[in-house]
Amino acid sequence: MDTDFIIGHYNYWLVILLMMTGLYTVVSRGNYIKKIVGLNVFQTSVFMMYISMGKVSGGTAPILETGITLYSNPLPHVLILTAIVVGVATTAVGLSIVVRIHQAYGTIEEDEVNDADHRMEFGKEDLP
Amino acid sequence: MSGILQDPGTIILLTMILPTIGAVLIGLTGKWPNLREAVSLLTGVVLIGLVLTLLQHVLNGGEASIELLDVMPGIPLAFEIERLGMMFAVVASVLWTVNTVYGIGYMRGNNEDNHTRFFACFAVAIGSTMGIAFAGNVFTLFVFYEILTLSTYPLVTHKGTPEAQAGGRRYLGLLMGTSIGFFLVAIIWTWAIAGTLDFELGGILAGSVDEGIVPILLALYMFGIGKAALMPFHFWLPAAMVAPTPVSAFLHAVAVVKAGVFSVLKVVVYVFGVDFLAGTGANIWLIWVASATILLASIVAMTKDNLKARLAYSTVGQLAYVVLGAAMATSLGIVGGAMQIAMHAMGKITLFMCAGAIYVAAHKTLVSELDGLGRKMPFTFAAFFIGSLSIIGLPPTGGAWSKWFLMQGSVEAGDIILIFVLMLSSVLNVAYLIPIAIRGFFAGTEFAGAQPAPVGAAVSPDAKTGGWWQNIEEAPILCVIPLCLTALGCIVLFFFVDPIAAYLNEMLVPVEAPVLPDPTPTTE
Amino acid sequence: MPLAAAPLCLFLGRGLLPWIFATGVCWVAFVIAIALALDLSGGSVITYQMGGWAPPLGIEYRLDALSAVALLIVTGAAAAVSLYSRPSVLREIEPANHGLFYTLFLLCVTGLAGVVATGDAFNVFVFLEVASLSTYCLVALGGRKDRRALSAAYTYLVMGTIGATFFVIGVGLAYMVTGTLNMVDLAQRLPPIGDNRTVAAAFTFIAVGMGMKLAMFPLHLWLPNAYTFAPSAVSAFLAGTSTKVAVYVLIRFLFTVFGLEFDFEQFALIAVFLPLGIAAMFVASIVAIFQVDAKRMLAYSSVAQIGYMILGISLATKTGLTGAILHMGNHAIMKVALFMTMGAIMYRLGTTSIPHMAGLGRDMPWTMAAFVIGGLSLIGVPLTVGFISKWYLIQAALELGWWPIAMLIVMSSLLAVIYVWRIVEMAYLQPSPPNRQISRAPTIMLLPMWVLVLANIYFGIDASFPTTLANQAALLLLGGQP
C-alpha cells in the first residue's frame, strides 16, 4: 500500500475514523445523551462517505448554468439530504425518549436505570 | 337422507363429524347431566350404526374413499376404508360405547369433577380414532394421531393434582416428542423419497429407496409411533395411570395404544410392504426389540403391586406382540398382529374396567389388598379372570387365537426362538395375572383364622345369616354390566374367530394367500 | 396501491375518531393487498414509477410474489390489530396520546408497506426509518404502564439506527461500484463486477444491518424488551410485521440483488447463517422456557422462529426458501394472534406474568382457547399453519440429505412444546385465586383474535394459496430475474 493510495483516499480514512469514534461512543458510554451524540457522529460519517463519492474532481456544483460540462453527481447529495432528515428525526425521537426516561427514573445513566429495573423486578413482588 | 347414507365416502366423514358434533352438544348440555349422558350414548350408538354400515359395505367387497382437499400440493387429506382399518373402527366404536356407559357409572360413583369436559374430550378422541382408522395416507394418519394425543391430554390430567400434571406432562412430552421427533421426520423423508404418501398394498417405498436407509426409516417409524409403546418409549403408559380408570381403559384398550399398533401395522403393510421389508432384512432388529419388550414388560409387571400399574406393563408387553407380528413381515404374522389388536382390546378393557370397579366399590388400588374381595364382587372378579385368560392366551377366550396365529407366523418366518419367547411370555402372564383373581376368591378364607383381617371377619358369617348375595358389594350397576359384556365378548370371540381370520386374510390377498389352519377349537 | 393511503394519515392529527379512521384505512389497504396478491400469485410483476422518472434515476415501486406475501402480512396484521387496539389503547395509553398513537400506527404501516413495495435500495432505507421511528415512539408509549418501556425503546432506537446506518453504508458502497440504486439494475450490474472488495463490504454491511433489524440471533438483544414493554396492540403489530419486513429485505437483497452464486459460492453464507439460525432456534427457545412473563416468553420465541426463517434462507433451495417465506407469513399470523391473547389478558388481569394466569382457562375461555391454538401452531402441530412451514423446512433439509438439520428443527419444536405448555398447564390445571373477579375479554378484542386463529387453522388445512404464492416467490428469487 503506497503513500499515494493512503493520501488519495484520505476522505475514506476520515470516514472510517469518524465511524469508529461514533460506534465506540455508542457502545462504551453509559450516559444516554452521550450515546446519542455517538450515534450522530456515526451517521455523519456515512453522510460524508456518500457526499465524497459524489464528488468529481474539478467539477462544479450541479446547477443550471450553460457551459458547464463537468459537475459532481447530484444524486448522492439528494440522498443524503433525505438521510440527514432521517438522522435529525432519529435524534429528536431519541432525545425525547431520554427526557421521558429522566422523568421516570430521575437519571440518564444506563447503569442506574438498569439497577432500578432490576430492583423493581426482583425486589418487589408485583409489577404496578 | 337415504341417498347420503348410501354413499360410503360420506359415511366415513360422518364417523368423524358425528363425535365432533357430539362433543359440542355435550359441551352445550353440560348443565343437565342426564341429557348430556344421553347425548354421549346416542353418539356411541349412532357411531356403531355407521361403522357397521361400512362393515357391511366392505364385506360385500365394496371399496370407498374420499378426498377432502390438498393440504399441500400432492398431499391431500384423504380417507379410504380397507379391512384392517375397518376392523379397528368396529372394535374402537363398540368398545368406546361400552366404555362410555362404564365411564358414566364410574364418574358418578366416584364423584369426579368436570364431567362435561371429560365426556366432550372423550367424544373428540373417538372421532380422531375413526380418522386414524380410515386414513388414506400417512399424512392423514399423522394428523389424526396428533389430534388424538391432544384430545386425550385433558383426560389424563383430569384430576388436576400435581401427580396428574406430572403424568400428563410425561404423556404429552413422550408422545409428542416421538411423533414430531421421529414420525414426522420419517413421513417427510418418505415423501422426499417416494413422492407419495398414499397407502398402497405392497408398499410405496419398494424400489425407490436405498437398502441401507430402510432400517433407519423403519426405526424412525417404529419409535416415532410412541403410542405403540415399544421399549424404551413406553414410559408414558405407566405415567398415564394417574387418569381415571375409564380413561385408562380407553387409552389401553380402545384407542390410543391401539391407534399406535394399528399405525405400525399400516406402515409395515402399506408403506414398506411386507415382502419388501422381509427382503431387505431390515425387520430383524425390530423382532428382537419387540421380543425384548414382551419379556421385560412382563417381568416388570410382576414386580408391580399397584393393580393399574401392573396392567399397564402388561399392555406394554401385549402391544409388542402386535409389533412383533408386524416385524415378522409374514402374512400370518400380520394377521396375528391384527387379530391381537381386537383380542387384546377386548381382554384389556375388561381388566381395566374391573380395576376401576374395584376402586369405586372398595377404594383398593393394590394387588396385595384384594384378598377375599372376590367374594364380595363375584361378577367383577369372574370377569377379571376371563380377561386374564384372554390376555394369557388360553382357550376358551379370543386371546388364544391371536397367539396361535403369531406362533404360526414365527414358524413361517423360520424363527423358532420366537415361539419360545411367546411361550415364556404366556407363562409370565400367568404369573402376574392369575394370582390376582386367586387372591380375590380364595385368599381371604384360607387365612381367615390366622389373619384378623376385617375382610375375613365380614365373610365368615355369610353361611349362617343369609344368602351369599347379601355380602355382595358390587360397584354401580353401570360399571358392572359393561365389564360383564366385554368378558362375554372375550369368550364369544373364541368361537367366532373363523370369520375374523378369513376377513383379515383378505387384506393381504393381492400379496399372497396364506394357507390358514383349520380354525376350530380342537386344534389348540 | 396501498401507498395511496399514506398521505391520508398525515391529515389525521388529533381527529375526533382516529380509531375508526385508522381501522378503515388499514382495512382498505388490506383489501387492496389481497387483490394485488391474487394478481401476483401468477408470477407477474407490477411496477409504478414515482414522479414519472425512468427507473434508473427515479424511484420505482415494483411488486412481485415475494412482495405480495410481505404486503399481505403487513396490511393483514395492521387491519387486525387496528380493529383490536381500541380497548387496549384506552387502557394502556394516556388519553391525550390516542390521536398520536393512531397517527404513528399508520405511519408505521406506511413505512413497512413502502419498504415492501419499493424497488429502490435507498428508498428501502427511508421507509424503514419511517417505520422504525414510529415504532420507537409506539414502544415508548408503553411508558405509562411500565417505565421500562422507555429504556427498551431507547435500546431499540440505538440498535435500530445502527442497523439502518449499516444498511445505508452497504447501499452506498454498492452504489459506488454500480452507479445505480434500482434493485433490478443493481442485480444486473453486480455480477460482472464479480470479486470486488467493495462489493463484499457492501454485502456484509447490508447483511449485518438487516440482521440487526430482524433480530437475527446474536443481534436480537433489543427485541425481548421492546416486545415485552410496548403496549399490547403494538407488541402484536410489531411481532407480526417489523421483523418480517426486515426478513423480506434480507431475502430481497440476498437473492434478487446479489444473486445466489455470490451469496453462497463466494461468501459461504451458509456457514454463517445456518449455525446462527440453529443457535437462535435453540438458545432463544431455551431462554423462553425460563421466562416468567408470558409476553417476554413469546418475544424470545419470536427470536427462535426467526431462526427458522434464517435456516430456510441458508438452505438456498426452492423448498427451503418456500419454507422460509411461508414461515414468515405463518409466524406473523400466529404471533399476532398470540400477542393479542396477551393483550386481552393484560386488559383483564393487568399483568402477563405466568404465575398470575392460574385458572384463566375458566375465567377467560375464549382467550385461552385462542392461546392454545396459537401455541399449537407455534409447536407445529398438524392442521395449523406452523405445521406447513415446518414441513417445508424439514423437507428442504432432507432433500439436501442433511438429516441432522431436520432432527434439529424437530427438536427445537419440542422446546416450543415445553414453553407453550407451561402456560396451558397454568391456565387450565391450576385453580384460580379465590377472590379474583374477571370477565371474558371484550368482543372487539376477541373478534380479530379469533379471525386470526381461524386463519391459522384454515391455512393449516388448506394451504394451497399461501404455498403457491410462496413457491412462486421462491422460484422468482432463485430463477434470477422475472
- The tens digit of pLDDT for each residue in B117-146 reads 788 888 888 888 888 888 888 888 888 888
Count contacts between B and C (CB, < 8 Å).
82
Nearest chain A Cα distance for residue C371, angstroms: 23
Of A32, A39, A127, the CB nearest to C161: A39
Taking contacts as CB-CB distances below 8 angstroms, the residues of chain C near A93 are 133, 136-137, 157
CA B516, chain centre distance (Å): 25
Touching chains, B (3+ CB pairs < 8 A): C
Residue C482 predicted with pLDDT over 50: no
What average pLDDT does chain B have?
77
Its domain, for residue A119, covers: 3-123
Cβ–Cβ below 8 Å for C395 and B192? yes
- Cβ of residue A94 closer than 8 Å to a chain C Cβ: yes
CB contact under 8 A, C395 and B176: no
When pLDDT is averaged across residues A55-73 and rounded to a whole number, the result is 63
Count Cβ atoms below 10 Å from residue C464 Cβ, excluding itself: 13
pLDDT above 60 for A96: yes
What is the DSSP secondary-structure string of C149-193?
A: HHHHHHHHHHHHHHHHHHHHHHHHHHHHHHS--BHHHHHHHHHHH
A95 interfaces chain C, CB cutoff of 8 Å: no
* pLDDT in the model for residue C160: 87
Which whole number is the average pLDDT over C324-343? 87
Q: Which residues of A touch C138 (CB under 8 A)?
A: none
Contacts of B75 (CB under 8 A, 6+ apart): B137, B139, B191, B197
Q: Least CB-CB distance to C413: which of B69, B165, B180?
A: B180
Domains of chain B, by residue range, sit at 283-524
Q: Are B483 and B102 in contact (CB under 8 A)?
A: yes
Three-state DSSP at B249 gives helix
Structure confidence at residue C49 (pLDDT): 55
Least confident piece of the model among A58-72, B54-68, C274-288: A58-72
pLDDT at B454 over 50: no
Q: Number of A to C CB contacts under 8 A, please give it.
A: 84
Q: Check B72 against C391: CB less than 8 A apart.
A: yes
**Residue A128 counted as domain residue:** no
> What sign for the dihedral angle of Cα C362, C364, C365, C368?
negative
Least confident of C293-297, C328-332, C342-346, C440-444: C440-444
Average pLDDT over residues B511-521: 43
pLDDT at C102: 76
CB within 8 Å: C379 and B180: yes
Choose between C167 and B465: higher pLDDT.
C167
Least trusted range by pLDDT, from B94-98, B354-358, B405-409, C115-119: C115-119
- Give whichever of B113-127, C256-270, C330-344 has the largest mean pLDDT: C330-344
Using a CB–CB cutoff of 8 Å, tell me whether A104 touches chain C. Answer: yes
Residue A38: inside a domain: yes
pLDDT for position A109? 83
Q: What domain count does chain A have?
A: 1
Contacts of C460 in chain B (CB under 8 A): 71
pLDDT above 70 coverage of chain C, percent: 80
Residues within 8 A of C (CB atoms), A 54-83 only: 75-76, 79, 82-83
Closest Cα in chain B to C379: B180
pLDDT at B257 over 80: yes
CA dihedral of A107, A111, A117, A123, whole degrees rounded to 10: -110
Q: Is the per-residue pLDDT at A9 higher than 50?
A: yes
Q: Which three cell numbers stand for residue C410?
A: 424437530
Q: Out of C403, C410, C429, name the one closest to residue B184 (CB).
A: C410
Residue of higher predicted confidence among C261 and B382 = B382
C16 has pLDDT over 50: no
Contacts of residue B385, Cβ cutoff 8 Å, sequence gap at least 6: B437
Q: Do residue C414 and residue B146 have CB atoms under 8 angstroms apart?
A: no
Q: Do chains A and B touch by CB distance (3+ pairs < 8 Å)? A: no
User: CA C154 to CA C158: how far, in whole Å?
Assistant: 6
**For residue C450, what pLDDT band results from cuts at 50, 70 and 90?**
confident
Decide: B195 and B254 in contact? Cβ < 8 Å: no
Q: Which one of C421, C426, C458 makes the best mutation probe of the B interface by having the most chain B beta carbons within 10 Å? A: C421
Q: Please tell me the distance from the alpha carbon of residue C188 to that of residue B417, in angstroms, as a whole number.
A: 71
Mean model confidence pLDDT for chain C: 77
Mean pLDDT of C90-114: 75
Give the side-chain half-sphere CA count within 13 A for C54. Answer: 3
**Residue in A closest to C156 by C-alpha:** A94
From the list B63, B86, B84, the residue with the least C-alpha distance to B325 is: B84
pLDDT of residue C15: 46
How high is the pLDDT of residue C10?
Answer: 44
Rounded-to-integer distance, Cα B184 and Cα B465, Å: 65
Q: What is the nearest CA distance from C353 to chain A, expressed in angstroms?
A: 9
User: What pLDDT was estimated at residue C11?
Assistant: 45
Alpha-carbon gap, residue B345 to B10, rounded angstroms: 27
A108/C contact by beta carbon, under 8 A: no
Distance from CA of C155 to the nearest CA of A (A): 10
User: pLDDT at position B464, please?
Assistant: 43
pLDDT of C1: 46
pLDDT digits (tens, 9 = 90+) for C23-34: 766 676 677 667
Q: Is B176 close to C461, i.e. CB distance below 8 A?
A: no
The enclosing domain of A115 has a CATH number of: 1.10.287.3510
Query: Touching check for C176 and chain A: CB below 8 Å?
Result: yes
Interface contact flag, C391 B73, Cβ < 8 Å = no
Q: Which chains touch C (3 or more CB pairs under 8 A)?
A: A, B
Is pLDDT above 60 for C434?
yes
Closest approach of C34 to chain B, Cα-based (Å): 21
Nearest CA in chain A to C120: A79
pLDDT at C115: 81
Residue B517's pLDDT band (boundaries 50, 70, 90)?
Answer: very low
Q: Contact C142/C82 with Cβ under 8 angstroms?
A: no
- B→C interface, C-beta within 8 Å: 69-73, 77, 139, 142-143, 146-147, 150, 154, 157, 160, 164-165, 168-169, 172-173, 176-177, 180-181, 184-185, 188-189, 191-192
B176:C382 CB<8 A: no
The grid coordinates listed for C479 are: 430463477
**Å from C191 to nearest chain B CA?**
33
Chain A: nearest CA to C453, how far in angstroms? 30
- What does the domain layout of chain C look like in residue ranges? 2-478
Mean pLDDT over B384-390 rounds to: 87
Which stretch of B54-63, B341-350, C132-141 has the lowest confidence by average pLDDT? B54-63
Chains touching A, CB cut-off 8 Å, 3+ pairs: C
Which residues does chain C have within 8 Å of residue A127's beta carbon, measured at their own beta carbons?
Answer: 146, 351, 353
Q: How far is C339 from chain B (nearest CA, A)?
A: 23
Q: What integer is the mean pLDDT of C384-412?
A: 83
In this complex, the residue of B143, B169, B180 whose CB is nearest that of residue C383 is B143
| Adjacent-strand bridge partners of B66 | B79
Tell whether C391 lies on the interface with B, counting CB pairs under 8 A: yes
CB within 8 Å: A113 and C153: no
Is it the case that residue C270 has pLDDT exceeding 70?
Answer: yes
- Ranked by mean pLDDT, the top range of A33-47, B102-116, C310-324, C344-358 is A33-47
C-alpha B482/C-alpha B497 separation (Å) is: 22
- Nearest Cα of chain A lies from the Cα of C465 at a distance, in angstroms, of 38
Residue B481 CA, distance from chain mean position? 20
Is A59 part of a structural domain of the chain?
yes
Q: Compute chain B's Rg from CA coordinates.
A: 22
Is C30 part of the contact surface with chain A (CB cutoff 8 Å)? no
- What is the mean predicted confidence (pLDDT) over C124-133? 85
Ranges A16-20, B473-477, C201-205, most confident: A16-20
User: What is the model's pLDDT at position B453?
Assistant: 39
pLDDT confidence of residue B232 = 77
Average pLDDT for residues C219-239, to the nearest whole number? Answer: 82
Minimal CA separation from C440 to chain A, in Å? 22
**Which residues neighbour B480 within 8 Å (Cβ) at sequence distance 6 or greater?**
B105, B357, B379, B380, B474
Q: Tell me what percent of the residues of chain C surpass a pLDDT of 90.
A: 0
Q: Are A26 and C158 in contact (CB under 8 A)?
A: yes
Residue of chain C whose Cα is closest to the Cα of A109: C151
Nearest to C133 among A79, A89, A105 (CB): A89
Confidence tier at C332 by pLDDT (50, 70, 90): confident
Q: Say if A15 is an interface residue toward chain C (CB within 8 Å).
A: no
- Mean pLDDT computed over B433-462: 57
* Least reliable range by pLDDT among B45-59, B173-187, B437-451, B486-500: B437-451
Q: What is the mean pLDDT of residues C407-427?
A: 83
- State mean pLDDT over C195-205: 77
Residues in chain C closer than 8 A to A90 (CB atoms)? 129, 133, 157, 161
Best residue of A9, A29, A100 to probe chain C, by most C CBs closer than 10 Å: A100
